Amino acid sequence: MPLKNLANSSPNSSLNHPTDTCLTNLTLDFPRTPVDSRHRLPNQGKEVPLMPKLVTDTPQNKRRSLAKVGGFSILLLLGMGTVLNFPNIVSGGSNAAQARQTEARNNLSAINRSQQSYYSEFKTFTNSLTDLGVGFKSHSANYDYSIRTTKMAAFHYAIARQGESEPPLKSYVGAVFWVSSTNFNPKAEKDQLLTVAITCETLHPDNTKPNAPTLVKGIPTCSSGTQNLRFLK
């Protein structure tokens, strides 16, 4: 078709040339408005970008990451500390008992020494803590203290108080005997007297009075159910 006739023709006019048909089809295939680079997806009517947004390394994100790492590190350290300290946790009860039992050991040692000094001065034993001047009472939070005397010996008891201590405690008995010095030195004078002492501990926690020590051939000896503290040091 001549160009001038094509310009004057209306859109609805018939197309007389095959080239006109191709141009028309190409024109109809292109959208009339620009297409956005984003596509509408069924996400509650919101426009969702085809490519996801990249998370930028902002200061806020850094703080969150550090907080997570720090929290994990703390939990890891706490867990390791618990594992490493497990033997101490298990033995905690034993250590607590040892600390309380030290009270009885020290007090009986003090009573034994004071009793020896008292006998050296007065040639007799006493059943009074006041006379011995040991500086503690007959009852404490963990133990009850008492003294039993005979002509030949004095026995000192530290009995664990029933139900007062957890874990249960061992009990103790100390003794002071007077003996002739000839037991240790055959050439010594027969009327010369000496005092010997011993402290015994029950084999197991107990709140009853232990068996008293005895004198075997001039040597103080712990009785059954007890052991000599001297050999435990």
**pLDDT tens for residues 133-172?**
999 999 999 999 999 999 999 999 999 998 766 789 999 9
Question: Domain limits of the chain?
Answer: 95-231
Segment 23-75, tens digit of pLDDT: 444 444 445 555 454 444 455 555 545 444 444 555 555 555 545 545 555 55
Q: Which residues contact 206 (CB under 8 A, 6 or more apart)?
A: 160, 168, 170, 171
Burial environment of residue 229 by CB neighbours within 10 A (0 to 12, 13 to 18, 19 or more): middle
Tell me if the pTM is above 0.95: no
